[in-house]
Structure 1
Amino acid sequence: MHSLKSIILVVVLFALTVTSCGSEEPLEMVFPMDTWQEMTPEELGINSAKMREALDYLASESGEDGLEEVFIVRNGYVIYKGDSIYKKHNIYSSSKSFTSTVLGILSDQGSLSEETYAKEIDTSMALLYPDVQLKHFSSMTSGYSGKGSTRWDEISEDWSWTPYAIDSALFTPGKEYAYWDEAQMMFGRLLTMHTGKTLKSIFDDNIGKAIGIGDYKWNPEQEVNGIEINNGCTNVMINAEQLARFGHFYLNEGNWNGQQLLSEEWIAKATQNQVFADKVADTDRNNVDGRGCYGYNWWVNGVTPTGKYHMPDAPKSLYYASGLHNNMCFVIPEWNMVFVRRGEDGNPEKGKPFVYNEFFKRMVLAIEK
């Protein structure tokens, strides 16, 4: 049995060790006003040479836009920015994370929840989709499909000219996963129909204005009851600096400089795996598998059916919004970091999960504290 003196000695030595190792006070989280504060990577515990090696790798796997619209923030301080961070264009499917954020706002307000049935909002959904809930839309497990052939010259079965015209289900909700834009578009329509407001106005009034996103567009796809439907799957037109504000908002669990704009509970739900489906649906997009690694319109670094993490060499807390043409917004809580890469130059040939796993594998070596 240890003596009291020996226990006290161990405690004292531990306290001394903690004091000596942690003599530098950690920087408090800051929030941008009109502009962001800047620091060098070294001032925030990052080896700039090794970070440069990681960025050079990413540039080598990217298209012609390279690092032009890259924006990196740690603890709210900018440590890297490309030359075109104020260039505005579509963020494509990264827009989906804005749509699910609107669901989070309405859930916090008690207007509806992820458990709300689609048929409660639109009774025409009752016949073919009686069991579909909003959580199925935001996790890509609804099985919803619209009538009509593709608008993309037979490249894809998805995205007909009539995405809101209800057709037979692809599968039983929750049983399969389909990265299906028509379903996301119907999701946006349902939220618009329920509130009688545009998705953009809901987002702006509750979050966007407060975090300083400012002037941007969210282009519509038709209307319902005289209200424009901001496209639920795409068409948010912003720049890298604005997208970083959105990521920084999520990094701080819905809090912006002391003001809780979205609940921590919703952030936690949205950014953890919500896909427990048995299989990927047999569609022309069955190469996209969100099982174990997709939340409410956020990709998460969860365990896939292979038994491996989605990005095994990246921080396990990482989650991200992902759009066509390599439009990405990564949130890395264990590093207090937001990493944005945008462009209009195509997806990486080796695939985003592979390339970004390799990128963050290199970034790990840059993080010194």
Structure 2
Amino acid sequence: MVSAKLQKWLIVASVIAMSQFGLVNAAELPLVKKQVFSTENFQTYGGETIAEVKVGWEAYGELNAAKDNAILITHFFSGNSHAAGKYSHEDAQPGYWDTIIGPGKAIDTNEFYVISIDTLVNQEPSNPNVTTTGPATINPETGKPYGLDFPVVTIRDFVNVQRLVIDSLGIDTLHAVVGASMGSLQALDWAAAYPDRVERMISVIGMGEADPWTIANLQHWANPIINDPNWNDGDYYSSAPPTAGVVQALRMITLGSLHPQIVNQMYAASSAGEKAPLQDIRANFAVVDQLEAAANLRATYADANHILYLVRANQLFMAGFQDSLADGLANITAKSLFLPATNDLLLQPYMAKRVHNLLVEQGKDSSYAEIDGPWGHLDGVVSIIQQADLIQQFLQE
């Protein structure tokens, strides 16, 4: 999903972080198995009906007899339900939050049953480890992919599908819902929509609502796809797909998730004194080629319409989906913890701080701390181990 260079940096950063916090020898999870949940006639927040919905999910640890030790992990925009562990011993890298999920880790699978679920309109419907329903899914009424006939969906719809999965397991109350980035939106909306079912909520690199700046910024991810002639108003499943638009969108998503500090560290040596860009206007700098290569790899499983629907779901977000954010937060009873990244330029700390302050003003139990690091938005994944002790303590209180 990322360039070889960025992949190496991510692995090195994770190992360094684990070493610093004494977690290199933490016990590993058993091999993880992906499962599939399906439901019929799903009603969307917008009032439409989806004839059949399927989502993948995986779990770590054991559900106790009382079924009161479940923690739900909700994933980020370009991610999926593979939050921890490996599918096989040969996997090069475990799930994205493996540093904090597992036996003896912050989210301790010796104690908790940890569940993660693929969202609707997942970015990668062609990924063999993802099961999702969206525009690329066959519409049973036509026998063809939905395309733009698929209804617009929201973060609340992601939450409601997750609720059906949780219900199918006989779980009434979640010990916690924890998510990063788009996952933090889901975690917060879980607490707002189902206050009697969520005891704790952890929002990592998140926000309470999409403000005008964020809506406009997210639109930059959609525009390359919309402006690709092959997009054809979403009808491309029997013709050439808008690959160029998808690659451009994914390149912007990757760059927007990084802080200049880490980009400059990775590419300073190669960018200094490059000759080709001076000699040929068509030649790219190394950093541009690397981002392009990473985007091309990620485009292998990605779907253009799915990216557009994910963008819209994030643009439409307001926790609680009421007339104001304060109104949307009013029903929350869960203890809350907000962990933005200090150097995040995508979902900046002010967004999480505003939610925290509103909850405190409403007399709710809310805590706030920041994740420091050079990665920007990605510090919510790469540097999450910084806050492992706080997360562990929060889950035990």
Specify if TM > 0.5.
no
Q: Which of the pair has the greater relative contact order for Cα pairs under 8 Å at 6+ separation? A: 1
Higher percent of residues as helix: 2
In the superposition, the TM-score normalised over structure 1's length comes to 0.29
